[in-house]
Amino acid sequence: FLATSSSHYGKSSNVSARPASFLASSSAKTDTAAATTATTEQQQTMEAQTKKNDEQYQPYRGPQAPEALPEIFIPSVLEDIDERLWVPQTDSVSFRPLCLCTSSGYYVNLLRVRGSGVLSRHKHPGPVHGHVLKGKWRYLEHDWEAKEGSYVFEPPGEIHTLVVPEGVDEMITLFHVTGALLYCDVDGNVIGGEDVFTKLELAKKHYAAVGLGEDFVTQFVR
């Protein structure tokens, strides 16, 4: 009986070892499947994120407003400029039009002054923004000096006298002028003026005279 029992128990021991091995194998398979699922989900997440990021760099696919005017793009406003682009106003003062907005009554141009001295005394019924690109200038009515890199906001209504100081061979400033520029005498009486329309006429005549053609200026008109 003991021998038989021993033999029986031995067989039972061998049988019980198989499930342990089977469980270990099943556990490994389960871990592998879980890892594969996690990897797949991670890849899907990364692919979704990549697609989302790519869409951020895609151009707008819808229609543009048919009434919208085309943009104005000028690659360089100072380097390699054809001298004919500068429209003379006096022997030492000229401007280069960048945007002549007849529909809103403003203009953006580069004002260039060669040599020092008083440029003009004037006022504006609208706001003016200025950014100095070269040289420097100041107003007699203020104690600050606008140098290369300076930004200036001029509120409507103020009368000021623009001066380019001694030692400045050339001054170039980008001005955004809304409305008119009204020239004044020392007492503030208006003695002349200019606006986007007078700028446009000057540019037409100049470009026609230098061989670019009167229509050359239309690329700046909006």
Q: 176, 186 in Cβ contact below 8 A?
A: no
Give the separation between CA 216 and CA 213, rounded to whole angstroms. Answer: 6
Element (H, E) at 171: strand 170-178
Rounded distance, CA 131 to CA 148, Å?
8
Q: In what order do the strands lie in the sheet with 117-123?
A: 145-147, 136-139, 159-164, 117-123, 181-184, 190-194
Listed in order, strand segments (DSSP E) in 10-158 are: 87-88, 93-101, 106-114, 117-123, 128-134, 136-139, 145-147, 151-154
The residues that bridge with 131 in the sheet, in sequence order, are 151, 174
Q: For the segment 149-173, what is each residue's pLDDT rounded down to a tens digit?
A: 999 999 999 999 999 999 999 999 9
In what helix (H) or strand (E) does residue 143 lie, and over which residues does it extend? none
Residue 29: exposure state from Cβ atoms within 10 A (0-12, 13-18, ≥19): exposed
pLDDT at residue 29, rounded to an integer: 61
Q: Which two tokens stand for residue 61?
A: 């696919």
- Per-residue confidence of the chain (222 residues) as pLDDT tens digits? 334 444 444 444 444 445 555 555 666 666 666 667 777 888 888 877 777 777 888 899 999 999 999 999 999 998 877 999 999 999 999 999 999 999 999 999 999 999 999 999 999 999 999 999 999 999 999 999 999 999 999 999 999 999 999 999 999 999 999 999 999 999 999 999 999 999 999 999 999 999 999 999 999 999
pTM: 0.74
Q: Taking the CA of residue 153 as centre, how many other CA atoms within 13 Å lie in the half-sphere pointing to its CB?
A: 2
What confidence score (pLDDT) does residue 24 get? 57
| Structure token pair of residue 17 | 């070892």
According to DSSP, residue 82 is labeled: -
Please tell me the predicted confidence (pLDDT) of residue 2: 37
